[in-house]
Chain A
């Protein structure tokens, strides 16, 4: 770089003449780009202001400030799902965060507290939820996103402390736990919403109310298939400096940090992918069919992972039987955690049409009209579905078209798009219900029926046989 130095010094602008000293020119040149940093600071400040204004605008828009009764909220469980729910709640008007509780005080608790601070929610942080319930007397509602095996105790204690509760699914890892939650909600008269958030998703509500209910586009639903294929993900870790001391881990029911971070894979703590993922979609099967299943057959196993580190089945394939008022139906569901191809969706097939629906925008929702079905023009005109995509008649390049092949059905899109985070409408519905302005879209009784159906899959895998349900299994 010596050559460069020379060049620089040679240029007259450097003013390097005689013994070096700083003259006014040098100082001015030295400071000449400082204003750019000031400009950056200004631009950054404006950007922050803009973002903040958007947040406040979104928060204030749906209702005038005076109309909304402010609800004091606490978050219990500040992990990844707790963060997702918090992000969605920050977009809902009339909420005031008061407290955050998480046993991982070294990391998760801090992260959520800091992110709430950015939105001007000054919250108290707790490790022990009982201390939070003791001290935070003004709380109206608690949003629970702790591991499944804590749901029942957390929910029951919060309800008994007089709080309304939004609890993530699966409502409990045991049916006894789930029953205690339903009973506590009934006894206390408080609202208990379970986080099967598709129940409040406008796309699903439109399909249920308009397409299946009013227009009956599918005719009689005979089969369903659905899946959640998730790509292989490495186990979750944690930096050593954020590790939870062993005594505290044990106190809260975890063997070690690995188990704490990956509890979903462990028996007694979670229910594995069929419960984590399948529960969302099997819930929709019963909702759309209007009945609970009558029997379940399932196969599953640790086809990929080592059962020593991943106790629950990484792969599950299951078939439910339903006796609907209009006749029998069968539903297949698979989840696997090695390859995420085609993601997740539910596909309902009736004698007049098919509904392919997903929470993911990759599939969104489409309906296919069977050529034998009555025309759907009325529903297109009403905007329930889009005009059909014209199916091109392709001449097959090779071979002769098999005359036994069915004619391709017309494809219509379901024109409902959710721009908000997927959990937001469900949380909104919960808070509306707390204010007495709505009924819960997924009250605990509904979620209990889903828990009965889903937890039975793991039982059926172990039993290696078809297990029947009695109608009274689903009620408390």
Chain B
């Protein structure tokens, strides 16, 4: 890296990260879509922390819950596809961050909270959700889609024509 610019290998590494995060999102979405009786109700009912009441309330409203289920299943899948393809990458990052913020807040590993699930791993403040969120922030700010991804083509076709430097 020189003068704040990212080297080719650094950009490749971030692109690999983007595809990996996208893969995870896509599979989370597809796995839910292919399970006929999946619902977020269980997760929401387990909610703890400062926003627990809000999540539990959401679980108790059948209409809202049905919408939340659909948005989660399709949203995760869509974010996953976009991240893998590098299409509308920043929008996808923001969408993904939005989902993870919600998942994180539903079960935040803050001081003093103890969980029966997840049973794997040990977390304090930082959990895997937060790490994945940070990964999305990296992808967001480095414009990985315009390095390798359909955004390159989009940008080439519709991007502002700027004088060469």
Contacts and interface: CB of A to CB of B under 8 A. Distances in A.
Interface of A: 1, 4-5, 7-11, 13-14, 16-22, 26-27, 29-34, 36-37, 40, 44, 83, 111, 114-115, 118, 234, 237-242
A179 B125 CA distance: 61
Given A27-B153, A30-B149, A36 B19 contact: yes
Interface in B55-110: 59-63, 65-66, 81, 84-86, 90
B63 A239 contact: yes
B157 interface: yes
B146 interface: yes
B156 A13 contact: no
Interface stretch (B22-30, B46-54, B113-121, B127-135): B22-30
Closest 5 CB pairs of A and B: A237-B62, A30-B153, A22-B156, A30-B152, A239-B66
Nearest to B26: A40
A11 B152 contact: no
Contacts of B15: 32-33
B60 A32 contact: no
A237 B155 CA distance: 47
Interface in B134-161: 141-143, 146-157, 159-161
Nearest to A234: B60
Given A10-B165, A40-B26, A29 B5 contact: no
A11 B148 contact: no
Given A11-B147, A37-B81, A40-B23, A20 B153 contact: no
Given A10-B5, A16-B164, A37-B85, A5 B143 contact: yes
A26 B153 contact: yes
A22 B153 contact: yes
Contacts of A9: 162, 165
Nearest to A111: B36
A51 to B, nearest CB: 9
B62 A238 contact: yes
A111 B149 contact: no
A83 B37 contact: yes
B162 to A, nearest CB: 7
A14 B146 contact: yes
B21 to A, nearest CB: 11
Contacts of B11: 11, 13
Given A16-B162, A21-B156, A83-B37, A239 B62 contact: yes
A36 B27 CA distance: 13
B-side interface mostly: helix
B85 A33 contact: yes
Contacts of A26: 152-153, 156
Nearest to B7: A11
A7 B5 contact: yes
Given A20-B159, A33-B148, 6 more contacts: A1-B90, A11-B6, A32-B148, A37-B81, A37-B84, A40-B23
A7 B152 contact: no
B60 A237 contact: yes
A33 B61 CA distance: 40
A135 B44 CA distance: 43
A237 B58 CA distance: 12
Contact of B37 (A13, A111, A239): A111
A261 B45 CA distance: 19
Contacts of B4: 7
Contacts of B152: 14, 26-27, 29-30
25 contacts: A4-B141, A7-B143, A8-B146, A14-B146, A22-B153, A22-B156, A27-B152, A29-B152, A30-B86, A30-B148, A30-B153, A30-B156, A33-B19, A34-B85, A36-B19, A36-B23, A37-B85, A40-B84, A44-B27, A111-B36, A237-B60, A237-B61, A237-B65, A239-B62, A239-B63
A238 to B, nearest CB: 5
Contacts of B148: 29-30, 32-33
Contact of A20 (B37, B61, B161): B161
B94 to A, nearest CB: 11
A37 B87 CA distance: 12
A113 B6 CA distance: 53
A38 to B, nearest CB: 10
Given A30-B151, A83-B37, A11 B62 contact: no
B15 to A, nearest CB: 7
A13 B6 CA distance: 11
A13 B146 CA distance: 10
Nearest to A32: B148
A33 B6 contact: no
Contacts of B150: 30-31, 34
Contacts of B141: 1, 4
B164 A4 contact: no
A239 B156 CA distance: 45
Contacts of A242: 66
A79 to B, nearest CB: 11
Contact of A13 (B22, B65, B147, B153): B147
Contacts of B142: 4
Contacts of A241: 63, 66
A17 B165 CA distance: 7
Contacts of B164: 16-18
Contact of A11 (B5, B65, B156, B159): B5
Nearest to B64: A239
Nearest to B90: A1
Contacts of A4: 141-143
A453 to B, nearest CB: 34
Contacts of A111: 36-37
A273 B26 CA distance: 41
Contacts of A37: 81, 84-85
B78 to A, nearest CB: 13
B72 to A, nearest CB: 15
